[in-house]
Amino acid sequence: MTEASDRVLVADACRVLAARGLSDGVLGHVSLRVDEERLLIRCRGPHERGLAWTTPEDIRLVTLDGAEGAPGELDGYSPPNELPLHTEVLRSRPSVTSVVHAHPPSVVAADLAGIAIRPIVGAYDIPGAALARAGVPVYERGVLIRDRELAGEMVTAMGERPVVLLRGHGLTSSAAGVAQAVLQAVSVDRIAALSLWVRAGGGEPAELPAADLDQLPDLGSGFTVAVAWRHELARLGDTAVGPVHPFRLGSSS
């Protein structure tokens, strides 16, 4: 992998979030750890148009403290206010290389309605079912996570889980690769939307029986991450700016 291809990967991840409706407008960002001190992250530049139009030029190298990661990296660009949201996760979890922050309306609405992310689906979304079964915690403050203290609170709420909901705000997803972090967010959003539809239809979202969940197979990251990511890039059509990057995808959990 090269730094140039990593920038392409992060840019495409931002476009996927927008295409899936997880981060409309100019809100949300994706990061990728480069080494112990630096990360690539989507920054806002002089011609900001929103996540759906992210280009590799919008992906900038910064340090964990928000300084330039190389000369000229922040010329005309500024890191997101919520950079600490990314860096505190990376500081606390050496196995994590990518952090996604998005604002999915269904996730926010479901949480505010008191609907937890639970394994209400099975074979419909096997990785999502596994993620929900193990629990998706909630950080109960609807604040802008712009300093290390608030980010530390979020990380504490997150515990050992890969995804945490942010009350009245969105979600944070972390993984060993960019694609996995994005796909986790997509799964959580899907379950939240289904839960809201069930409630709107007069039902109550209910967990599947443990026996059914136990029967769900691990389809392997070659399918649940690599193939799923190719699908996400294909959905972008000509707006995708790069190919699949297998060594930065991560693996399913």
Q: Tell me, what CATH number does 186's domain have?
A: 3.40.225.10
250 found inside a domain:
no
Exposure of 45 by Cβ count < 10 A (0-12 exposed, 13-18 middle, 19+ buried)? middle
**At a CB cut-off of 8 Å and minimum separation 6, what does 125 contact?**
187, 190, 191
Q: Where do the H-state alpha helices sit in the chain?
A: 3-19, 83-92, 105-112, 126-134, 148-158, 178-200, 210-214, 221, 228-236
Q: Whole-angstrom Cα distance, residue 60 to residue 140?
A: 30
Please give the pLDDT value at position 247: 35
Angle between the 3-19 and 228-236 helix axes, to the nearest 10 degrees? 80
Considering only residues 169 and 251, tell me which one the structure prediction assigns the higher pLDDT. 169
15 found inside a domain:
yes
Chain-centroid distance, C-alpha 208: 25
251 found inside a domain:
no
Q: Calculate what percentage of the chain has a pLDDT beyond 90.
A: 91
Please give the pLDDT value at position 24: 85
Containing structural domain, residue 158: 3-242
Confidence band (pLDDT; 50, 70, 90) for 241? low
Q: Calculate what percentage of the chain has a pLDDT beyond 70.
A: 93
249 found inside a domain:
no
Exposure of 32 by Cβ count < 10 A (0-12 exposed, 13-18 middle, 19+ buried)? buried
101 found inside a domain:
yes
Q: What is the pLDDT of residues 108-126, one digit of tens each?
A: 999 999 999 999 999 999 9
Q: What is the pLDDT of residues 179-218, one digit of tens each?
A: 999 999 999 999 999 999 999 999 999 999 999 999 999 9
Q: Could you tell me the two tokens for 65?
A: 């403290």
Mean residue pLDDT of the chain comes to 93
pTM across the whole model? 0.92
Active site residues: 82
What's the number of domains the chain is made of?
Answer: 1
Q: Whole-angstrom Cα distance, residue 138 to residue 4?
A: 35
178 found inside a domain:
yes
Distances 97 to 19, 40, 62 between C-alpha atoms, Å? 23, 10, 14
Q: What is the pLDDT of residues 48-95, one digit of tens each?
A: 999 999 999 999 999 999 999 999 999 999 999 999 999 999 999 999
Q: Whole-angstrom Cα distance, residue 100 to residue 80?
A: 12
Asked if residue 170 lies in contact with residue 104, where contact means CB atoms within 8 angstroms, the answer is yes
For 25, other C-beta atoms within 10 Å of its C-beta total 11
> What DSSP designation does 226 have?
I
186 found inside a domain:
yes
Asked if residue 30 lies in contact with residue 13, where contact means CB atoms within 8 angstroms, the answer is yes
248 found inside a domain:
no
Confidence band (pLDDT; 50, 70, 90) for 25? confident
Asked if residue 58 lies in contact with residue 13, where contact means CB atoms within 8 angstroms, the answer is no
